[in-house]
Structure 1
Amino acid sequence: MTEQKRLSAGDQAPAFTLKDSEGKQVSLSDFQGRSVVVYFYPAAGTPGCTTQACDFRDNLGELSESGFDVLGISPDKPEKLAKFRDEEGLNFPLLSDPDRSVLAGWGAFGEKQNYGKTVVGVIRSTFLVGPDGKIVKAMYNVRATGHVAKLLRELPA
């Protein structure tokens, strides 16, 4: 596999502005002064991505109480994100990165293993970004099932 950019704790979170499921611009800087969970997923409406999104939905109260907002980012177009949001009752912003530039900038797009084959695609990844805009925790190749529960256990105090 070729070497690709990976973010680590202490790195400045790469800035972005993307359209949400309503077509409105959302920037990481909109959350300055707040902690944010930024997670990247391959495709809205697929089984793993639905499981993961619903886990975030079901645990949003606990994440909010811990001071975290949640942003989900995929290459899907805003219309598909709106359908996904409505079908699953999602209660946090879903952002569209159709050219995958934000995914790549965060190290969440590139070569990965899929059923024993090397493919290029979205690397399911989650980041905790502190109020200062720095990465607190970077997690690559996370599992869709059980990931949010693990994240909650590992949240910084």
Structure 2
Amino acid sequence: MIDIGDKAPDFTLPASRDRTIALSDASGPVVLFFYPRDDTPGCTKEAIAFTGMEADFAALGVTIWGISADSVASHEKFATKHGLTMPLLSDEDNAICEAFGVWKEKNMYGKKFMGIERATFLIAADGTLAQVWRKVKVPGHAENVLEAAKALQA
């Protein structure tokens, strides 16, 4: 499992707004948040929180990207419905989720299945992991990530 100080796995993924995004193309720090599914309550609250703070992150030179296993078409609907402005990347084969260690066995109502563990990675401009949040609880999370991004600037 990757952790703080490790080099973030590079990737190129299709994204909403008819884009293809590669980590290696980032010109500064990146917040990469992995979420289980488009348009579910927790994922919606998290994405809206990051969207609401996007200007604060941009002022620090930090880019925000969300990743789930949903299709680009699903991401487009989700973004339009909730006014999400950051790109949502599609990892339909879960290769990037596995590389970041967020593809996990989950248990809901006694049924086990594989899915994405909600996690966020703050990647420094040099491509190393500056901060990692696993098993994220949504309330206050975007604010915590912004504080960590500010600390990168210090």
Whether TM exceeds 0.5 here: the answer is yes
2:36 to 37, 42, 58: 42
Task: Give the Cα–Cα distance (whole angstroms) in 1 for the partners of residues 57 and 97 of structure 2.
Answer: 23
Greater than 3 Å deviation, 4+ residue runs: 112-119
CA gap of 1:115–1:65, structure 2 versus 1, over 3 A, is: farther
Identity %: 37
SS at match of 1:44: coil
Task: Give the Cα–Cα distance (whole angstroms) in 2 for the partners of residues 120 and 29 of structure 1.
Answer: 28
Q: Does 1:13 align with 2:23?
A: no
Aligned-pair RMSD on alpha carbons?
1.7
2:134 to 140, 144, 152: 140
TM-score by length of 1: 0.89
The answer for the alignment partner of 1:154 in structure 2 is 148
Task: Give the Cα–Cα distance (whole angstroms) in 1 for the partners of residues 110 and 130 of structure 2.
Answer: 31
Contact 1:7–1:138 (Cα < 8 Å) also in 2: no
Contact 1:128–1:136 (Cα < 8 Å) also in 2: yes
**CA shift digits 1:98-144 (9 cap, x unpaired):** 11110010011112455787643101000000111111011110012
| 5+ long unaligned stretches in structure 2 | none
2:67 to 73, 94, 117: 73
TM-score by length of 2: 0.90
**Matched residue type, 1:101:** A
